[in-house]
Structure 1
Amino acid sequence: MTSSTAHDVIRWERDADGIVTLVLDAPGRSANTVDAAFTAALDRAVDRLERERDDLTGVVVTSAKKSFLAGADLRELIAVPRERAADFLAANLAVKRTLRRLETLGRPVVAALGGSALGGGYELALACHHRIALDAPGSEIGLPEVTLGLLPGGGGVTRTVRLLGLLGALPTVLLEGRRHTPREALAAGLVDELAADPEELLTKARAFVRANPDAGQPWDTEGYRIPGGTPGDRALAPRLIALPAQLEKRLRGAPFPAPRLLLATAVEGAQVDLETALLVEGRYLTELVTGQTAKNMIQGLFFDLRAVTARRDAAARPARPTRRVAVLGAGEQAGAIARACAAAGLDTAVTEATEELAGRDVVVVAAPDEADPDHKAFEHVAAALDPDTLLCATSPAVPVARLAEQTGRAELVGLRFAGPADRARLVEIVRGPATGDAALARALDLARVLGRTPIVVHEGPGGSFVSRVLGRYLAEGAAMVGEGIAPASVEQAAAQAGFGTGPLALLDEVSLPLFRRTRGGAAPHPGDAVVDRMLDTFDRPGRAAGAGFHDYDAEGRRTRLWPGLREHFASAGAAPADPAELGERLLFAAAIEALRCLEEGVVASVAEANVASLLGVGFPGWTGGALQFATGHPGGPPAVAARAAALSAAHGERFAPPPLLAAKAGRGAVFTDG
């Protein structure tokens, strides 16, 4: 095999059969990325392919990295301002012209995917005539751009619609942004073959080239029709009409522009020729890239999440790794923690007896705290353990500082899962005043083994970060009920603001007694009186009891808002509430508390605050997190401070801008760890 080093990002190799292998191999980087250097190198490589076409048998595109090709350089995308929209669109169309030249080369082109091909990486594969994926663990294939507020703009929408049809491409590949394993990608039609090992991958790729000298794209053949038809086809039109309604049902009015524009891109593009469809796609992508929502989502859901995960993975490995875990408790949370540990391959036992805890690396106490208000059980548990066994408390109503004082243990942390432990993505590691570095390292290692994203927090008045920020969201929703606002309007306003679950439904899930116990030293809130009345007067503690702000059936499914809310809390003659203002109150209530937590050192970084608010609180994804909400708000922190002051004047001191916000606003600064 002869080789040329003319292209540093894409290596050119040609064998004796005239098959050129383009090896993606960005120097000095662990992964290939669709950045300016790559697109320039690809353009040069296609130039050479066109010059030497008559002497070529075909082309194989592969990678020297563990992955095939990542998507666009997000740092480049997040920096594109609105005034550079025309330049961005021109650059996008230039890349598409290069890919179009590749797929119309007149020689077979095969993508040999030796690892993950996501976003722009898979779009390059789509511009090839045949796609073969290595059936490797951890490899992912797909177009997840919508999860970051974008759409596949390198031909991904245009080509998947022509490959799979509108109904084949839209629901899962495009609108959900699903990441497929190689076998799932084969079943979905995203790849054509699988290979068992790297050698077979290249062997199959070259075999396709030799067997298919006239290979081309199906959409370039005469008489080609999009599978399932175009929007104007009578058979497809009725089914297609349902897609916008299904999308709106899922979004519930929340301000996520990407799915809506993606749907428009696919439908409009299916009605025109391919070149025009690529232009439509580019224009809609440009609108998203230069808008604020994508910048928010990229910051919070990519850069901040990556920073938090990197800290977890960089933490020193403890001298005593976690292999044997005991979960003390018999409730739902204890079972969920045990399932999470067992799924991670840990030797896991669930018990209610302290005498069965010896020899365990970690003991997680998930017993209901209301049965032990003085936390005496922890003293008995601590006494039964080896001195270096890590003791974890899960209840947000159990102050870690008090437990440390009672037990005298440095090997003690709070371990707070944001939701059922077997499904929660985030875990708070609460560090008490006596928690040692060794205990912290072991807790981080446990989070790594469980595959959870951890944030290290301290407790302040009202609890740790998630309990405080979530508590303010829930309390504000309850306060609205107390003001006589229709409960359905409260829940709808939360949905339209982008929260996954309304505050009243979430109060029921958390349970009103737990909410009351965890509000602890937090400042009084008008929502507290509503919760007290729901418990003390109406005996409606939440979903587990079948009665809360909502009614529930025998299986625990929500059936309706409790009619008594209107009877007991409604204000006669009250003016209809503005859903936008209600949603704004919910957003500001949570964001202001997140700012206070950063100010007080409850959470140590902007990235951790954003990630914890997104994964732990359910703060709307379009904001990029509670602090990115302030940065990305129209007008930035100064406008947020001004609006907070106005809300404070209208609704109470709880909305007053914290000093940290006022200081940022005064300097014209934004919230960043940089």
Structure 2
Amino acid sequence: MAKEKKDKKTPFTLEKGKDGVAILTFDLPDESVNKLSSWIMTDLQDKMKLIQEDSSLKGIVFISGKPDNFIVGADIDELSSFSSAKEAEELIDKAHNMLNDLEASKMPVVAAIHGPALGGGLEVALACHYRICSRHKKTSLGLPEVQLGLLPAAGGTQRLPRLIGLQAALDMILTGKNIRPKQALKMGLVDEVVFELDLLTAARTAVLKLAAGKLKPQRPAQKSAYQLATDFNTFFKPKKLIDFALESNPLGRHVVFDQASKMVLKKTAGLYPAPAKILETIKIGLENGMKEGLAAEKKAFAELVMSDVSYQLRNIFFATTSLKKETWNITDNVKPKKLNLIGILGGGFMGAGIATVLASKGYYSRIRDIDPVQIGKAYRYAHDFLYKGVKRKYMQKSEYERKIGSITASTDYTGFKKADLVIEAVFEDIDLKHKVIKETEAVVSKNCIFASNTSSIPITDLAKASKRPENFIGMHFFSPVEKMPLLEIIITKKTSPETTATCVELGRAMGKQVIVVNDGTGFYTSRILGPYAREAAFLLMDGVRMEVIDKAAKQLGFPVGPITLLDEVGIDVVYKVGPVMHKAFGERFAPVPAMERLINDKRYGRKNKRGFYNYQAKKKVPDESVYKLFPEIKLREYPKQKIQDRLLYSFMNEAAMCFEDKILFSVRDGDIGAIFGLGFPPLTGGPFRHMDTLKVENVVKKLEGLEKEFGLRFKPAQILIEMSQKGDTFYPQK
């Protein structure tokens, strides 16, 4: 092959084969991933024009030069640099022109995909004439723009429905979900799935066949009624019949859009504009043609990228990206320990969840629980989660067996001598925790790290039972561990840098957003949850119906309401934590009167299917019998705005106090912890960004008004008062 000299200014390399196939490789210099920007799109368009002028070539393979990614999307920094909608429209014009030219190429273009092809990366592939992807576990395809408050704007809203069908496209674009290779093949998103080593060969072969007219891609969404009707193996299945009826005519599509609109409104409460814009843009394209669809796509994108919601969602993206890069005291002399075996104390819901996630990420763990029945339940928990991969055909059974086999268990400390890290997940009782700390340290090596999963007890107090406080740390997981994205790591004044670095790296390897906080009662997340949950209880005692409280919170953007959250966390857990917080923070955390009656009535929440809600029925409904426990409650109408103010400002005020008390290292960590740990509305950017948006002086005035009406629990944090007087903000303002 003759290899073109690579221009330092271009990320594209062209190789011309003797068979007439051009291999165009995208490898962005000085970056670990390929991403699209204005200058790259211009460069690619110019490159494609030069290739097509070469009459010796038969077709093109577009491939990534990165070892583990195709194209991960657009350069978010560039999107955030726009000062006007017009600038955004100019970028989209470039993208549309480039991909329209690519799609119109007389030479066949085959996308050879290995690793993530996301956002603009998938849109590039959609404009190609044929797509082949590797079957590697790192390969995934998706349009995640909705998660940034945007829509796919390089033709994704137009090409995807035409390729895979309306319903499948809506599912992908509205959720931002990633599609695995086998599923992508089944739905027609890709044309072939091959082993990574065969990818380039398969792509080259496809180019030659396409050029010779010997290969015609199958496009399920583009089949005629006759073709579908004669496909007896697929069409005469109820789902296929329904899909065809819904998507093949305007009336059917109207039904699909109508149902999708209702779902979007239910999921977003009308707070996020992107999903509605996605539906509108796709509909315009299907009804009025590609040209009008692309015009609508450009206009909608420009409006969304300049919106406050997208601005805050992009801030979250930048925050999580910077969080992943922090090294936490890792120097040439202090590096994370290698973890060969991780011990887990307690095989309950939390311990089983931790072991399950560790197994899914390739770690060996050993559970210790005094109850053999509980150990059996832990194994069942791990099996149920891991075996889903086999059922859904993205995991081989041999891989499942290897992963489930990485979990061992016993009723004593056998095997713990080899543990490099032990995670304690026993009941929230300091005496019990002290007991297991002493027992564990008697059998593990002197270098073993001990991490407590406590949700409220200060790590310093727990470490008093340890002979090696430098190896002692808190690792606060959230339940269920396999679903909740946050890990809160708590360090004391004696925790060593190596211990911190090791636990941070483990958390990231487990796929968690990791924040590190200083020690203190309740740390950060449990502490800010306390006033929010208590205020919900106070509202209930004030006569506000539980479902009304939950609905008001969800209309703010919380994924679940605080009453539901109490059921999910466990009313008994919150009840046990209450006195600990009250002792540490005084009357501000005084227990809500009469809530002890719930515990006496054995109402612990979802875990025993007895809480504020009735979990016996198919559909979760409020359990009206709760009100009988509180005969003093007089149910009444209550202003929604007042409910929302009491919930929101109690949360934000405590977050400010945590920053004031130096529990947090940064407000960025506070926003990430609140969003990913407790579901604080993402559209606000987090409690600290939201206070900046509201203006701190207005937050103080609101709190002062609430304090006058409801008492000490709303007294503004001193830091807020001082910031208000100075006109300060938590984040630098542009």
Whether these two folds match at TM > 0.5 is: yes
Q: Which amino acid aligns with 2:644?
A: G
| Cα deviation, residue 397, structure 1 | 3.7
Distance 1:354 1:310 in 2: 39
Deviation at 1:349, TM superposition (A): 3.0
1:305 aligns with: 320
Q: Counterparts in 2 of 1:84-483, with a 5 A limit? A: 84-171=84-171, 173-198=172-197, 200-213=198-211, 228=244, 233-251=250-268, 253=269, 255-300=271-316, 302-311=317-326, 315=330, 318=335, 320-343=337-360, 344-352=362-370, 355-356=413-414, 357-370=416-429, 372=431, 375-410=434-469, 411-460=471-520, 462-483=521-542
Offset of residue 269 of structure 1? 1.9
CA drift of 1:16 comes to 3.5
Q: Deviations over 1:113-167 (max 9, x none)?
A: 2332110011111111111112223122111111221111111111001112211
Cα gap change, 1:12 to 1:330, in 2 (>3 Å): closer
Deviation at 1:542, TM superposition (A): 3.0
Kindly provide the CA deviation profile for residues 185-238 of structure 1, in whole angstroms up to 9, marking residues without a partner as x.
Answer: 22232111123235x32222222222223799999x999899947685334433
What whole-Å deviation, never above 9, does each CA across 1:314-369 have from its counterpart, x for those lacking one? 94675752222222224322222333333333142323366534332222222213
Amino acid at match of 2:510: L
Change (3 A) 1:614 1:74: same
State whether residues 143 and 152 of structure 1, in contact with CA within 8 Å, keep that contact through their aligned partners in structure 2.
Answer: yes
1:624 and 2:624 correspond: no
Conserved? CA contact 1:478–1:527, under 8 Å: no
What's the secondary structure of 2:591's corresponding residue?
helix
Partner SS state of residue 529, structure 1: coil
User: Match of 1:620, as an amino acid?
Assistant: P
Verify the 8 A CA contact 1:469 1:617 in the aligned structure 2: no
Q: What is the DSSP-based 3-state SS (H/G/I as helix, E as strand, rest coil) of the residue aligned with 2:276?
A: helix
Distance 1:593 1:324 in 2: 38
Letter in 1 for 2:487: V
TM-score (norm 2): 0.82
Shift of 1:70: 2.3
Q: Which residue of structure 2 aligns with residue 597 of structure 1?
A: 658
Contact 2:356–2:482 (Cα < 8 Å) also in 1: yes
- Residue type at the aligned position of 1:265: T
Measured after TM superposition, the shift of residue 9 of structure 1 is 2.5
SS of the aligned residue for 2:731 comes to: coil
Name the CA distance, whole Å, in 1 between partners of 2:248 and 2:707: 50
- SS of the aligned residue for 2:41 comes to helix
1 CA distance for matches of 2:632 and 2:302?
46
Distance 1:68 1:397, change over 3 A: closer
Change (3 A) 1:458 1:351: same
AA at the equivalent of 1:191: V
For residues 570 and 27 of structure 1, what CA distance do their matches in structure 2 show?
Answer: 69
Distance 2:699 2:628 in 1: 33
In structure 2, distance between residues paired with 1:237 and 1:177: 22
C-alpha change, 1:592 and 1:123, in structure 2 (3 Å) is same
Query: Could you list the runs of 4 or more consecutive aligned residues of structure 1 that deviate by over 6 angstroms after TM superposition?
Result: 214-219, 221-227
SS across alignment from 1:241: helix
Aligned ranges for residues 580-659 of structure 1 at < 5 Å? 580-631=641-692, 633=693, 636-659=695-718
Question: Aligned-pair distance for 1:463?
Answer: 1.4
Residue type at the aligned position of 1:387: K
Higher deviation after alignment, 328-337 or 289-298: 328-337
| Aligned twin of 1:62 | 63
Contact 2:531–2:589 (CA under 8 A) maintained in structure 1: no
Q: CA RMSD in A?
A: 3.3
Shift of 1:373: 6.7
Q: Separation in 2 of the partners of 1:376 and 1:450?
A: 28
Q: Secondary structure at the match of 2:251?
A: coil
Partner AA of 1:360 in structure 2: A
The aligned amino acid for 2:137 is P
Shift of the 399–314 alpha-carbon distance from structure 1 to 2, 3 Å rule, reads: closer
Distance 1:422 1:237, change over 3 A: closer
- CA–CA distance in structure 1, aligned partners of residues 634 and 349 of structure 2: 41
Q: Is the CA contact 1:4–1:13 (under 8 Å) kept in the aligned structure 2?
A: no
Counterpart position of 2:28: 26
2:615 to 549, 552, 572: 552
TM-aligned CA deviation for residue 293 of structure 1: 0.8
1:554, 1:243 → 2: CA distance? Answer: 26
State the Cα distance separating 1:91 from its structure 2 match: 2.5
CA distance in 1, matches of 2:336, 2:637: 63
SS of alignment partner, residue 250 of structure 2 = coil
Give the residue type in structure 1 aligned to 2:141: I
Distance 1:569 1:95, change over 3 A: farther
1:625-662, Cα deviation, whole Å (9 max, x unpaired):
2223234x3x5545544544444445444444434445
Residue 570 of structure 1, CA deviation: 7.6
| Cα distance, 1:449–1:529 mapped onto 2, change above 3 Å | same
Instruction: State the Cα deviation string for residues 229-281 of structure 1 (Å, max 9, x = none).
Output: 76853344334432222223333x15122222212221222111111100111
CA 1:271–1:536: 2 relative to 1, 3 Å: closer
- Pairing of 1:74-85 with structure 2 (within 5 A): 74-81=76-83, 84-85=84-85
**Shift in Å, 1:492:** 0.5
Q: What is the deviation of 1:58?
A: 2.0
Q: Distance in 2 between matches of 1:340 and 1:389?
A: 21
Deviation of 1:371 (Å): 8.6
Whole-Å separation in 1 of the counterparts to 2:553 and 2:722: 29
**Letter matched to residue 333 of structure 1:** M
Per-residue deviation, residues 291-332 of structure 1 (Å, max 9, x unmatched): 0111111211x2111222222699467575222222222432
Verify the 8 A CA contact 1:487 1:561 in the aligned structure 2.
Answer: no
Structure 1 residue matching 2:555: 3-state secondary structure: helix
**Seq. identity, %:** 27
Report which stretch shifted further, 416-425 or 565-574: 565-574
CA contact (8 A) 2:118 2:144 kept: yes
CA contact 1:108–1:216 (8 Å) conserved in 2: no
Question: SS at the partner of 2:343?
Answer: strand
Bigger mean CA offset, 640-649 vs 158-167: 640-649
Instruction: Tell me the equivalent position of 2:393.
Output: none
Q: How has the CA–CA distance of structure 1 residues 663 and 277 changed in structure 2, closer, same or farther, with 3 Å as cutoff?
A: farther
* Greater RCO, CA 8 A, separation 6+: 1
Return the letter of the residue paired with 1:303. Answer: F
Distance 1:286 1:618 in 2: 28
